[in-house]
Structure 1
């Protein structure tokens, strides 16, 4: 375990050093070699390449005719990368990162766009269109397309006035969801329903999250006049408070409750203080994040059936170390995480999880996306003692013992042909 952690930490550091070293030279060489400084406006429209969050590009083409949208960053004037994160009110905060490729007198910059939780799809795409257009204006101003632009201010506040907004909810947001699904056949029936509730408060200095979920899944099978039934129920609730200490340090307190008959757990209650350090300042988290977090605290457990260690209930101390890396660049995106957890009374009762998601543009027109998750599992102390019947296995009633879990996916995209086609035609 220690060797695995050491190797992975070195790989993280190597990736971080190479990214930091490569960022500035790449930017300088690119602009210097392709840039052109001129007081004469360009005849052609600016060429824009967008990636990241999926947009309604037909809508953008119709309403942003001052730009040509291309499907290859190698021929673009501006490369825009869009990320999004959930805001404290339940809406989305989009980060639009403008990477200048051909204008020597402009630097890269980022603007944000915020949508509300109850915005419709139409309202969301209008806000994104307006934000994209606003960020492109400095570049459009260098082309003759700027002569055809006009602007209108739709606000009611007079210039110089400051609108003071009072929030009666004091930054608290609440959400509740109820869902259900039924699938009926002559010899098979499936019922599934779930409840979810959330109460959050987010400010610049503190973040409070409260979540609760209850799910029930019932399956019934009938064969040769006999009925077989499986009921899987689970309940999960958590509460956390995180305090910002500086531009890199944070501390918090996490509490949780868990119940699942599938995992032979009548209840599991834990309380864990934690500390986190981000290698990069949080104000650049839309481009790069490298966090190291440590959690430690007690956990109280009670089981439906006697466990494989002859326990009906027990209280143990648990610790976790979590490393997360995310890098967003014009060549692609890398996400990776390593989580190591163990019970402190016996370090052999542990779990190590490594997950990664990689999306990289190899050459013009060729992109590769891959991801995988690997878990080394040695902490299933909740497994019931005794034999597991074939009926329980087939009906998926109980968790089976396993020392590992592996998942992987890979995809390749090849694209070629016209890169300037901005025609919109949705017939048939």
Structure 2
């Protein structure tokens, strides 16, 4: 009797456990929580179309951290790097996918392709969860074509882009007209990166003053070219060229050819997660001015050197991006400039993040300032004539604190 009673009691204790086991999906884990970190994503579209995970506001509530970064590809396309990683598990799964979208894609085609790669990347993280019950896989077989060892590209990786646009605006005493055109060409391979662009704009402004009509000409034109060659996983050499004119800046012609070298202390294949790049460039240039400058020059042949550096990290705790550059002319080192651009977005504690960005420039290289121009003259202010200054700056600070429901799944498009 005692043995049978004990067995009956064991069955009573076992039934709720078996019932609970069945109700929770036969031992499957619950739907995972995902923290999506992406500045270039249509987050609403992703949350609307990928519904087999939960989206949360804070990393501390997530089991999966999805970091998506992007960079420009040849011809103006975008390459997205998707890093999926388990949170709070040093030995957890980490997967990386890359999605390339050509410049011919519309925004809708780009977000569809990105969402498809997000789905593919999430599959290994949900196979042991209850989400797997309602998942399925579809495969569209490609058209059968003759197998080729290499892609037959009649354009040899060259991509071209032509732009033309105009604008007009006005009021009772003012009329503005602009006509912009541009041509860009680019060839990008694993070894070579060649880019060139020609741009220009007709910018006219007519302002009715009390005693006369002021006609303002702000036309400009610019050619820029670059050919870079990869010499290792960390270094690249390049040759830059430029020719331009600008009515606003008193430059009738500026042209130069500048050799340069770049070194990245981290491998280039880690460019989206971390980079520490140093660039050096030396540039002999010729300048001709519309009007005599404050240095009593109508034209001159000069040479400068420039060094710049950029340190950037994109991690779970936030983003750090610091850029610095300095330049001086050889004929007079007091003619120089220095610029620093820091940007921080740091997660302090749960729900609290701080952002800070700014720019500060020391400007001692305004070679094209006109000698006979009074910068305080209202006519010159209206014309937008270059004004003398020794520095400029900008600062932006932000503080964000979010609290409430940890979930961020529901999308309501009304209003």
Give the TM-score, by structure 2 length. 0.89
Structure 1 Cα separation of the partners of residues 145 and 30 of structure 2: 36
Q: Is the 8 A contact 1:371 1:409 kept in 2?
A: yes
Structure 2 Cα separation of the partners of residues 387 and 265 of structure 1: 15
2:60 — aligned with what? 74
Structure 1 Cα separation of the partners of residues 286 and 110 of structure 2: 45
1:126 — aligned with what? 112
Structure 2 Cα separation of the partners of residues 339 and 80 of structure 1: 33
1:413 — aligned with what? 400
Once the two structures are TM-superposed, the CA of residue 414 in structure 1 deviates from its matched residue by 1.9
Structure 2 Cα separation of the partners of residues 311 and 59 of structure 1: 57
2:180 — aligned with what? 194
Q: Is the 8 A contact 1:49 1:70 kept in 2?
A: yes
Structure 1 Cα separation of the partners of residues 27 and 115 of structure 2: 24
Once the two structures are TM-superposed, the CA of residue 102 in structure 1 deviates from its matched residue by 4.8
Structure 2 Cα separation of the partners of residues 160 and 111 of structure 1: 28
Q: Is the 8 A contact 1:233 1:260 kept in 2?
A: yes
Once the two structures are TM-superposed, the CA of residue 144 in structure 1 deviates from its matched residue by 2.1
1:344 counterpart = 2:330: yes
Once the two structures are TM-superposed, the CA of residue 223 in structure 1 deviates from its matched residue by 3.1
2:4 — aligned with what? none
1:259 maps to which of 245, 248, 266:
245
Once the two structures are TM-superposed, the CA of residue 68 in structure 1 deviates from its matched residue by 0.6
- The structure having more radius of gyration, on CA atoms, is 2
SS of equivalent residue, structure 2 residue 124: helix
Q: Is the 8 A contact 2:204 2:218 kept in 1?
A: yes
Q: Is the 8 A contact 2:293 2:371 kept in 1?
A: yes
Deviation digits for residues 322-346 of structure 1 (CA, Å, limit 9, x no counterpart): 1111110001111111111110111
Once the two structures are TM-superposed, the CA of residue 392 in structure 1 deviates from its matched residue by 3.5
1:270 counterpart = 2:256: yes
1:223 — aligned with what? 209
2:387 — aligned with what? 400
1:322 counterpart = 2:308: yes
Once the two structures are TM-superposed, the CA of residue 258 in structure 1 deviates from its matched residue by 1.6
2:17 — aligned with what? none
1:156 counterpart = 2:142: yes
Written as runs of structure 1 = structure 2, the 5 A alignment for 1:21-420 is: 42-102=28-88, 106-156=92-142, 164-224=150-210, 226-388=212-374, 390-420=377-407
Structure 2 CA distance for partners of 1:69 and 1:159, relative to 1, 3 Å: farther
Aligned residues: 389
Structure 2 CA distance for partners of 1:125 and 1:179, relative to 1, 3 Å: same
Q: Is the 8 A contact 1:249 1:275 kept in 2?
A: yes
Deviation digits for residues 102-159 of structure 1 (CA, Å, limit 9, x no counterpart): 5565332321111121212221111111111111111111212113211111132569
Structure 1 Cα separation of the partners of residues 368 and 134 of structure 2: 69
Structure 2 CA distance for partners of 1:297 and 1:62, relative to 1, 3 Å: closer
Q: Is the 8 A contact 1:68 1:422 kept in 2?
A: yes
Q: Which runs of 5+ in 2 are unaligned?
A: 1-25
SS of equivalent residue, structure 1 residue 334: strand
Structure 1 Cα separation of the partners of residues 82 and 185 of structure 2: 28
SS of equivalent residue, structure 1 residue 235: strand
SS of equivalent residue, structure 1 residue 401: coil
Structure 2 Cα separation of the partners of residues 209 and 170 of structure 1: 14
Deviation digits for residues 69-115 of structure 1 (CA, Å, limit 9, x no counterpart): 11111110111111111111321100112232155653323211111
Q: Is the 8 A contact 1:358 1:370 kept in 2?
A: yes
Structure 1 Cα separation of the partners of residues 27 and 205 of structure 2: 68
Give the TM-score, by structure 1 length. 0.87
Deviation digits for residues 32-70 of structure 1 (CA, Å, limit 9, x no counterpart): xxxxxxxx8543111101112243333323322211111
Structure 2 CA distance for partners of 1:264 and 1:99, relative to 1, 3 Å: same
SS of equivalent residue, structure 2 residue 383: coil
Out of 181-190 and 279-288, give the one that drifted further. Answer: 181-190
Structure 2 Cα separation of the partners of residues 375 and 41 of structure 1: 61
Structure 2 CA distance for partners of 1:160 and 1:315, relative to 1, 3 Å: closer
Structure 2 CA distance for partners of 1:255 and 1:75, relative to 1, 3 Å: same
